[in-house]
Chains A and B, each alone.
Chain A
Amino acid sequence: MNLLGSLFQSSIGKKLLMAFTGLVLFGFVTGHLIGNLQIFLPPEKINAYGHMLESLGAVLWLIRLFLFACLVIHLWLAIQLTLENRAARPVAYGVEHTNRATLASRLMARSGLVVLAFLLFHLAQFTVRIGHPEWSEHTYQLANGPAVRDVYNMVVHGFSSVSVSVFYIIAVGLLSYHLSHGVVSLLQSLGLKNERWTRGLEGFAVAYCWGYFLLNAAIPLAVLGGFVQLHS
């Protein structure tokens, strides 16, 4: 079998790909959160940041394409692996017993599906701006630069809806839960872990996931609570 065939068809090849694409997506959501936190700074900052990303042009599309490919591979293999795993035990045990598999590890497919649904909604809302074509028109005058897309007000408008904010908080909660198994699991799959590291890594995963959840949830909560308001 050739290299790509082995990666996509063997059990360990699939694990390696799941881990690698998971690592890329983990890096993306982390970077995305750091970018988003600029909402707590003056509007100038996040709007300049958004403009910087949009002005990457072809590079931005290459990055998007790479992330999309990682997402598709992660998703496609997840479906395949889940079906294979179900088929590997056609008759269930009369007594179902779990020794130490965490709940997060057993709900990966379900938490992942909710995150996927959220991702589609999120892209439709803020990237394609379906339903709110006027968000594309709003501009913001940078202090020493051009008039750019007003990301700041778009976020405030978006999260002014309670239902959108609640869905967002639930989804980032499940994403954090997904990552609490994923960030440690991916190192095991890549062969970069042993028992000496386990405790530290698991501690890191818990701290990271709580931090990821709380910081993400802070954005819609700050909008709903009136701490982040539309600039004039």
Chain B
Amino acid sequence: MVAEKPSKKLFSVTLRVWRQPGPAAPGKFVEYPAANVNPDMSFLELLDVVNDGLTVKGEEPIAFAHDCREGICGTCSCTINGKPHGPGHGIATCQLYMRSFQDGDVIVVEPFRAKAFPIQRDLVTDRAAFDKIQQAGGFISVRTGAAPDANSIPVPKEDADLAMDAAACIGCGACVAACKNASAMLFVAAKVSHLGLMPQGQPERDRRVLAMVQTMDAAGFGNCTNQYECSAVCPKNITHDFIARLNRDYAKALFRTRFKPVSGAAAGGAG
């Protein structure tokens, strides 16, 4: 006997979408009815269908950011009913399916809102501030060698697991979008911890945390008030414990860099 397939009853929703023609232009919500919604469609596919309809009518389609559509690139970025990446836990917008909604729902779709993420158009924001933070210290400057060399530096399993949890950050910016203060602390904490937990990340550890935090502050993000809205919406379920670790790392780096002895070589080298 074959299990009966669940019926795929098509339904209708109304999208209330933020439309903004350009970075400086004023924006407003516009409603778009969507009929014949298949519950197995992804949310982005629904936007595609709505956009097809708009194009046929000669209207400007809704601009939204998307790329891999499998939850690993961090490009998609809608705030759906006030929650970045919409209802659901540990998923990006592209992994949200219409079965999460019901017939007749009004779904409010907005861009991520933060001063540091200026809106380019409609739902598309410029998240280059994250790139700047990464460029300030989210790297290591040693040759890591070829694949077999990875085994030449032993890493305790616990550290590797923890570093991997932090490295799961896809840099989507949902943490900033969810934070009541538009703070980027969870993103920076993940990036700082990911490298700081690895032996290869030690030489630049102090410089990294200081530079990344300084760049974060300069980009106009807010401050953390320990409300943990960020980790509640993170598509990779990155824990705010990394923020505590970031705070600790920053404090240690602040004191260590100020009080460590200065090598004679720094003053001109052996002569």
Contacts of A85 in B (CB 8 A): 180-183, 222-223, 225
A11 to B179, CA, bound (A): 15
Interface pair B221/A190, CB less than 8 Å apart: no
Contacts of A16 in B (CB 8 A): 247, 250-251
For the complex, would chain B's binding face be called helix, strand, loop or mixed by DSSP majority?
mixed
Task: Fill in one digit per residue for B142-167: 1 if any A CB lies within 8 Å of its CB, else 0.
Answer: 00000000000000000000000000
A17 to B227, CA, bound (A): 18
Determine if A3 is an interface residue (Cβ-Cβ < 8 Å). yes
Instruction: Name the residue of chain A whose CB is nearest to the CB of B230.
Output: A99
A101 to B79, CA, bound (A): 18
Shortest Cβ distance from A14 into chain B, in angstroms? 7
A81 to B216, CA, bound (A): 15
Shortest Cβ distance from A151 into chain B, in angstroms? 38
A102 to B76, CA, bound (A): 28
Contacts of A15 in B (CB 8 A): 223-224, 247
Interface pair A12/B116, CB less than 8 Å apart: no
Task: Fill in one digit per residue for A74-115: 1 if any B CB lies within 8 Å of its CB, else 0.
Answer: 000000010011011111111111111110011010000000
Contacts of A3 in B (CB 8 A): 254-255, 258
Q: List A residues 166-196 near B (Cβ within 8 Å).
A: 181, 184-185, 187-195
Contacts of B64 in A (CB 8 A): none
Determine if B18 is an interface residue (Cβ-Cβ < 8 Å). yes
Determine if A30 is an interface residue (Cβ-Cβ < 8 Å). no
- Given A87-B115, A95-B110, A188-B244, A14:B225 Cβ within 8 A: no
- Size of interface on B: residues with Cβ below 8 Å to A: 51
Interface pair A101/B227, CB less than 8 Å apart: yes
Contacts of A87 in B (CB 8 A): 115, 220, 222
A190 to B241, CA, bound (A): 12
Contacts of B170 in A (CB 8 A): none
Please pick, from A10, A99, A101, A106, the residue contacting B83 in the complex, using a CB distance under 8 A. A99
Task: Fill in one digit per residue for B105-122: 1 if any A CB lies within 8 Å of its CB, else 0.
Answer: 000101001111000000
Interface pair A13/B254, CB less than 8 Å apart: yes
Q: List B residues 228-249 near A (Cβ within 8 Å).
A: 228-229, 232-233, 239-241, 243-249
Most buried by B among A85, A89, A101, A106: A89
Contacts of A98 in B (CB 8 A): 180, 229
Determine if B102 is an interface residue (Cβ-Cβ < 8 Å). no
- Given A85-B180, A85-B181, A87-B115, A7:B254 Cβ within 8 A: yes
Determine if B214 is an interface residue (Cβ-Cβ < 8 Å). yes
Determine if B61 is an interface residue (Cβ-Cβ < 8 Å). no
What are 15 A-B interface contacts by the 8 Å CB criterion?
Answer: A3-B258, A11-B216, A11-B221, A15-B224, A85-B182, A87-B115, A87-B222, A88-B114, A95-B79, A97-B83, A98-B229, A99-B178, A184-B226, A188-B247, A191-B245
Closest 6 CB pairs of A and B: A97-B82, A191-B248, A88-B222, A101-B227, A95-B82, A85-B181
